[in-house]
Each structure stands twice: as C-alpha cells, then as structure tokens.
C-alpha cells in the first residue's frame, strides 16, 4: 500500500518564506555584488526561487557535492566535484543548499572556498535540522528549522526521486 504524504510546508508557505529570505539577504549585502554558489543537486529549486526574488547584483555558479553512502544518512565524508568556473578571490560568496543536516557539506565547502581568498563567505539553506549537527557550523540564512524527520520535495530527494515536488513533505507512519 502507498504511504500517505504529510505536507510540512506548502508551496504557498515556501514562497512566502523565500520572499522574506531574499529581502533579508539583500539587506545583509547592502548593494555589494554577490557570487552565489549553489550546491547541486539539492539546491536547484530553492536557489532558482531565491535568486529570482533577490535584487542584489550577482553571478551564479554551482558545485556538485555528495555525502551519502546510503540514502538517508551522511557518511561524513563530502565529495566536491564538477565544473566550477568562477573567480572567488575578493568576492562576497553566498553558498546555497537545500538543507543543513550534519553540517559536513556546508563546512567542507565553506572551508574550501575560504582557501580561495574570498572577501566573505556566508551560507543560505531552506531547511535546518539543528538536532542532527555533528560539526560546529550554522547557516547564516535559514528558511525553516525542522525536527529530525526525513523529508523530500522542493529539491530534496530520496534515492533518485521526488526532487520535483513543489512542497516539502514526509510520510505518515
Ligand atoms: P549534511 O552534510 O549532513 O549537512 O547534509 C547535507 C545534505 O544531506 C543535503 O544537501 C541533502 O542532500 C541531504 N539531506 C539531509 N537531510 C535530508 C532529508 O531529510 N531529506 C533529503 N535529503 C537530506
Ligand atoms: Mg543535497
């Protein structure tokens, strides 16, 4: 039998929060140009909604990160690969991801970017699971904090699926 979807954040609730975040981020950069670095693949929905609500001048690039050995738990070892093209030195970098969970992904990427001598590095995520953190790292901009439940939709996947769902949901037991 198919399990029933339990929607945590509707399309409307997400849109409203993304609009607020965009304003918050624009205000924090106060007219400075931003280099957005989205972390594929999870960022693709949030990042595209966020940047279209922002007014700051920006360049947008992507990195591919992968931390999973199985589907639901992080291995702690983050692989960064892909086709990153931008000059980072002297730029204000904003790393964008779908969710901060153990914190390994954002911490690893932020450290790698720091080595490239940016003017600043900040991070933005749609979701935060603070109770799952394994490293001392928090995002500068967060959409919604959530409890320790496995969620999908709005870019978040289970295996290869569900990233395209326009809302954030879990399954009823
Ligand atoms: P971290 O390195 O543990 O912070 O994990 C970051 C990555 O884990 C995210 O970019 C997601 O791909 C994945 N992740 C963490 N929690 C969930 C979840 O509840 N659903 C789907 N993916 C998740
Ligand atoms: Mg991801």
pLDDT of residue 135: 96
pLDDT of residue 96: 98
Regarding beta strands 34-40 and 5-9, do their DSSP bridges make them parallel or antiparallel, or are they unpaired?
Answer: unpaired
pLDDT of 18-59, one tens digit each?
Answer: 999 999 999 999 999 999 999 999 999 999 999 999 999 999
Q: Which of 62, 60, 36 is nearest to 124 (CA)?
A: 36
Q: What is the mean pLDDT of residues 57-86?
A: 77
pLDDT of residue 131: 97
Q: How is 131-154 classified by DSSP, letter by letter?
A: GG--SS---SEEEEE--S---BBT
Q: Measured from the CA of 104, which atom of ligand 1 is nearest? A: 2
136 annotated active-site? no
The residue from 101, 140, 148, 173 that is catalytic is 101
The sign of the torsion formed by the CA atoms of 75, 139, 5, 159 equals negative
State pTM to two decimals.
0.94
Centre of ligand 1 to C-alpha 117, Å, is: 27
Q: Please, is 140 exposed, middle or buried when counting C-beta atoms within 10 Å of its C-beta (0-12, 13-18, 19+)?
A: middle
Give me the residues near ligand 2 (ion), CB cutoff below 5 Å: 42
Neighbours of 30 (CB within 10 A): 7
Q: Measured from the CA of 157, which atom of ligand 1 is nearest? A: 21
Residue 72 pLDDT level (bands cut at 50, 70, 90)? low
> Residue 80: pLDDT above 70?
yes
Contact 78/109 with Cβ under 8 angstroms? yes
pLDDT of residue 68: 61
Residue 67 pLDDT level (bands cut at 50, 70, 90)? confident
pLDDT of 103-159, one tens digit each?
Answer: 999 999 999 999 999 999 999 999 999 999 999 999 999 999 999 999 999 999 999
Report the mean per-residue pLDDT for the chain: 92
Give the side-chain half-sphere CA count within 13 A for 88.
Answer: 22
Which DSSP state fits 58? E
> Residue 89: pLDDT above 90?
yes
């Amino acid at each position: 039998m198919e399990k029933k979807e339990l929607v945590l954040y509707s399309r409307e609730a997400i849109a409203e929060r993304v609009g607020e975040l965009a304003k918050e981020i624009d205000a924090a950069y106060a007219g400075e140009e931003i280099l957005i670095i989205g972390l594929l693949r999870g960022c693709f929905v949030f990042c595209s909604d966020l940047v279209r609500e922002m007014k700051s001048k920006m360049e947008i690039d992507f990195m591919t990160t992968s931390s999973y050995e199985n589907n639901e738990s992080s291995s702690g070892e983050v692989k960064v690969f892909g086709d990153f093209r931008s000059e980072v030195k002297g730029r204000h970098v904003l790393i964008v991801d779908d969710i901060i969970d153990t914190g390994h992904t954002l911490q690893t990427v932020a450290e790698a970017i720091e080595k490239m001598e940016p003017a600043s590095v900040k991070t933005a995520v749609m979701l935060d699971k603070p109770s799952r953190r394994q490293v001392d790292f928090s995002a500068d901009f967060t959409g919604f904090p959530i409890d320790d439940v496995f969620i999908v939709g709005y870019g978040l996947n289970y295996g290869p699926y569900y990233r395209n769902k326009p809302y954030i949901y879990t399954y009823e037991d």
